[in-house]
Structure formats: C-alpha cells, structure tokens
Amino acid sequence: MLTPACGDDDVGGGSADLGEEGAGTGETGGETEGSEGEGEFGPETELTLRINDEAPPDLVLQMGRDEVAELFGEVASEIELLELDSTPLLTNTLNAIKYACGDDWELDSEDPNHDCSQTALGQSFGGGNWQTSPEFSMVRILTMTPANSVVKGTSLESVQGLTDFLALFTGGFSELMAESLKIPVNEEFLDTESVVASLKVNLLATHPEISDEGKITVTLQDALEDMATMATRLGPVGDHPGVLVPDYPTHGEVFGPDFEMKVTAASNLRVLDGADLSAGKDFISVIADVTGPSYDDEAEFDFNDPDKFSMTGLASNPSLDLRFAISEHPGFVVSCTEDISPACVNNAPDLPIGDSLVWTLDPWDLEYMVAYAGRLRYGGLESVVTKLFTDVVEVGQDGNPGGWAVFNVPLGWLFGEPPAQYVWEMINEVAQHDLHHLDPDGPATFEEGAANVEFTLDDIPCGLTGEQAEAAVRPFLQAQASDIAGYLLGNYKQNSGPVDFYFRRAEDGAPYLFWVAPEDLLDGLDYGWDTPGFFADAALTTKLSATELPGVGDSSHEKLRIEPGETTVYAADDEGASYRIRIVAPAGDPSEITAYVAKRTN
C-alpha cells in the first residue's frame, strides 16, 4: 500500500509539545476568568494553523508484471479488467471439437469417415482409444447430417427403411430429412451458431460467475496468474456442474514478458493542520475531493485518457488451454409426442409438459441443450414434403406451431411411423441413441448417465486481440476508479494524529474549521465525542457550526467558516473536557490563523 507524502513543513512525528519549545505553540498567561456564567479557564495555548493551497504531486505508477502483482496482490481478484464475450470462445471451441475427427462428414455420404487420429485433440479421446470414447460419440452428434444420420433404434427407423426402399420415388431418407428441415443433405442438423447460443444460455449464463448475457469477467488476478484461477472460478458451484474442469490447469497468457502499466492520478489526499485540544497542534490526513461524481476518492483516475493510463505488452492474440465438460441426464429422455399428450404441442422451456421430459431437466443437461439448439434453429420451421403424391411430412402446417411435425408415411400404418412432435425433440432422440450406441447394430456402448464428456483443448482463441483488450479494459477500470483509489491509498489515516478539529478549505473555496467525524478515524476506532462542533457558550447549548452549509458538498462534518477578525467559540474533546478557543484571522482570505486554546477549570 502507498502512504501519502506530507506536504507541510510543520509535519512531524506525533503531537506538538505544549512547552515553550513546542513548534507553533505557546502559553499566553495565567488563569483567566470568563464572562459571567462562562466558568473559569486555564492559561491559553497558542496554536498556528495554516492551509497549504498547493496541490500535492500526481500519483505516478510505472509497473511491470511483478510490481502490479505486489501492489494489487490482495485485491487483484476484486479488480475486473473486462468482460469476455463467450461467443467467439465457444465457437472456436465447438469448431475444434467438430473437426477433431476430420471433415469428411461434410460430404454427401452415408459414411462420415471419422478418423480422430488426424488431430491432437482427437488422439486425446478416451486416453488414446478414441473409437470407444464418449467424446467421439459427441463428435458424431455434432457432425450428424441428413446424409450420414443413423436412426436405427429410434422412432425414425421405419421411416428410413420405407423411404430408402422406395428411394427411386422418394429420393431416400436423407433427401426426406433435408427437405423437411430445409437444409442441404450435407449440413449438420445442429449448426454451430445454434449450439453455441444454447451453450451460452444454458451452460454459461446459469453459472454464478458468468453474466446473464454469457459474458465472462476476467479479473486482474486471472491475468496475473495466466488464467489459472479461471478453472476454479468457472468450476462446479452448488448444483451447477461447472463450465471448466477445476483440476485441469487452465492457461492463457494475457500479460507478456514486456508488459508494462502506466497510471497517473491526481491525489486528493491532504495533510492538514489540526488541534488536539488536550495536547496541542497535530496533523491529520484527509480526503479533499472536490471532483464529482463522488467526493470521497483518495485519488482521481482517468483510465480513458491514454496520457494517464496505458497497458503495453499484452498478448497479441490471447488464447486458452482448457478442459471443457458436458454432462448428460442419468436417464433416457423420451420425446413429448401427440401420443403422450395433445398438450405436447405447447411444450416449451417456459411451459414444460409432463415429468422427466426435456424441458423439465436442468438446463445444463446435454439433452436440454441439444433440444434448445434445435428449437433455436427450427422454431419457425414450416415445410411440406410431398412424395408419391402424398404429403409425407408436414411441419408447422394446419395451424400447428413452427417446428411441429406430422407424418403421413406411405404404408406407415403397417410398418409404423413417428407420432406428431417437434423436430428438435426428434433430433434429440436420435442424438441420445447415437451417443450411447457407437455400433448401431450392437448393444449400448455406454449406459445412460455414463456418456459424460470432457474435451481438453489447447490454444483456443479468445476472440479478441491485445489491442482490443487494452481498449476494453479502460471503461471497466474507470467504473472501479473509486475502489482502486482506495486499494492504493486506503491506509492514509495511519498518518493522522488524534486531533479534535482541523483547518481546510471546502468546495466553496472558503476556509473552515472541520470537527473530526467518524470517517476521519481509523477503521474500528470508537468515536468518543459526545458534543462535536463549535458553540457560542461554555455550556455548549448554542451551536455555531453546522453539517449542512450552502455551497459545501460535505454533510458529515461540523464546520465553522472562518471570517477575518477575532471569534470566540467553545468546544469539548473526546474526553469530555471543555475548552474556550479564541480564533484570530487576518483580513482578506485567511490561510493562516492563530487559535488560543484554554481549558475550562470549573
């Protein structure tokens, strides 16, 4: 922490002595008797109080990484640098996963020809045995297209069998699906944009460390520790499974080896002349803030001014090494179909139907996020697919909402056809089945609830440059300027002596005597003044000072404006002793006054 420099030649260590050699003090006579009813007072002690109108030098900081860590170490986690939009990070993460096993899935082919040995990420699946890993299953879901979809074991199996059998007339199952969803046969059922939006809303925004808009706060501590703290912050909390795996060392360089921060601020700290009525002259460190919007800042920062704040040496293209986790629901989630309830046509996240159906799950469950992504993409879908002179699939027709699919497959009454349902619940059914069956003709590879995935990704771009990061930091730091001033200079009260009042200018430029208020004391120190302020009589019944004065923003201190000439006031210290104070001020604008203090003796 920093301590303010004393700007007055009279500043010394401790209180001024009341003896003849005391600086700025002197006894002016024996006991005196006041006017009738005032009581008797002891000898007067002379105190000289001055106002130094010269502003203290600016606070100038020029720090490397180590100096920043040393200065802000204890509060670095409380200083927010920026909010990171999670969309680019999620998009880059998802694309890395989708292409971890090659890109042949983009072809119009029944075989996506996945080969996870092509990439370092793919090779990490299953500890090297990627063919039987849940991560590979997840890749299959994300790269599922009408051309390569496998629906064996789902309600679409009969539809695929019939349409492929009649492919000469129907174009086959892939064409039927593509036309129903209005997408090309080689395009994913769930595109990157929809999945990213679903992750952002349901996995990220539900975490207490992430905003409702899915923005991730990066703190100074995160940056100083190369984002290692991010894994803990974004790990499991309460019922939330977390976004990052906490025991994996998340890493991302923000501050490069040549990082430097420069800050210049105007100090609002003043060391003022004051009086301890029982001991003599002393000094007090106070905030003299006349700059809004707040008037209690230790210093004035302007982080938006490049001449007063700069950060250089940031990583040019920040990226992250991270481990990203998604968990599934422990049981199979059936689709809400017309056969279950006619009300399923109204099934929605904000109006969930049934029990253990998709919208009754936790939003961070895989099944919920898959269905949500499908709803985002196909929520307004309207289509009619006609084959063999029959409307085989009708989506969003006959007054039904967008995405509600009704099937009329030739011979469907004989071989079976899916009941009416939303297309995203149908996609979710297929995704769940494929997640657990790497071999469509074999038994389940993973039991329900056992196909949770963790993807370890390296060097994922955060979506902003170092230059953009420096620009983004400015408004965040400016919003915390008052807090940062407190972090840096909050120990200023340690320099204060035990004064009862002090001499200073207020916002209106006039000189005042300020009586000590609770805010002037060290934290935890009791306020001992029963009758603070300045009075016209020794009995302390008629107050001359006030906390509220026109043109003065301060409203917590008892204040007495000093006028030229001689003024006599009375006051009591924190020990309950009463005093008479004669104040002599020169003509004009008094920046130096003499106070003659006498203690009441009866």
Q: What is the DSSP letter of 147?
A: T
Q: Name which residue leads in pLDDT, 426 or 413.
A: 426
Segment 339-357 mean pLDDT: 93
The closest alpha carbon to 432, from 446, 442, 416, 414, belongs to: 446
Q: How far apart are CA 496 and CA 484, in angstroms?
A: 22
Question: Is residue 459 helix, strand or coil?
Answer: strand
- pLDDT at residue 414 in the model: 54
Lowest mean pLDDT among 2-16, 134-148, 397-411: 2-16
CB 116 within 8 A of CB 123: yes
Res 19 pLDDT > 50: no
Contacts of 496 (CB under 8 A, 6+ apart): 283, 284, 285, 286, 520, 522
Over residues 79-128, the pLDDT tens digits come to 999 999 999 999 999 999 999 999 999 999 999 999 999 999 999 999 88
The three-state DSSP-derived secondary structure of 283-308 is EEEEECCCCCCCCCCCEECCCCCCCC
Over residues 267-297, the pLDDT tens digits come to 999 999 999 999 999 999 998 887 878 778 9
CB 335 within 8 A of CB 429: yes
121: enclosing H helix or E strand:
helix 120-123
Rounded to the nearest 10 degrees, what angle do helices 134-142 and 86-98 cross at? 110
- pLDDT at residue 349 in the model: 96
- pLDDT at residue 142 in the model: 97
Res 150 pLDDT > 90: no
How many CB atoms lie under 10 A from the CB of residue 573? Answer: 24
Segment 574-596 mean pLDDT: 96
Q: What is the DSSP letter of 476?
A: H
Res 548 pLDDT > 90: yes
Contacts of 356 (CB under 8 A, 6+ apart): 331, 333
The three-state DSSP-derived secondary structure of 219-266 is EHHHHHCCCHHHHHHCCCECCECCCECCCCCCECCCEEEEEEEEEEEE
Segment 499-513 mean pLDDT: 93
Segment 574-581 mean pLDDT: 97
- pLDDT at residue 589 in the model: 87
The separation between CA 230 and the C-alpha centre of its own chain, rounded to angstroms, equals: 12
Question: Is residue 576 helix, strand or coil?
Answer: coil
How many CB atoms lie under 10 A from the CB of residue 486? Answer: 18
Res 173 pLDDT > 90: no
- pLDDT at residue 35 in the model: 46
Sign of CA dihedral 440, 444, 450, 454: negative
Residue ranges of E strands in 353-498: 383-387, 390-395, 404-407, 421-422, 453-461
pLDDT band at 13 (very low <50, low <70, confident <90, very high): very low
pTM of the model: 0.79
Res 301 pLDDT > 80: yes
CB 244 within 8 A of CB 322: yes
CB 425 within 8 A of CB 335: yes
List the structure tokens of 218.
């990066």
Bridge partners (DSSP) listed for residue 511: 505
- pLDDT at residue 156 in the model: 81
Compute the mean pLDDT over every residue in the chain, rounded to the nearest whole number: 89
Amino acid type, 569: V
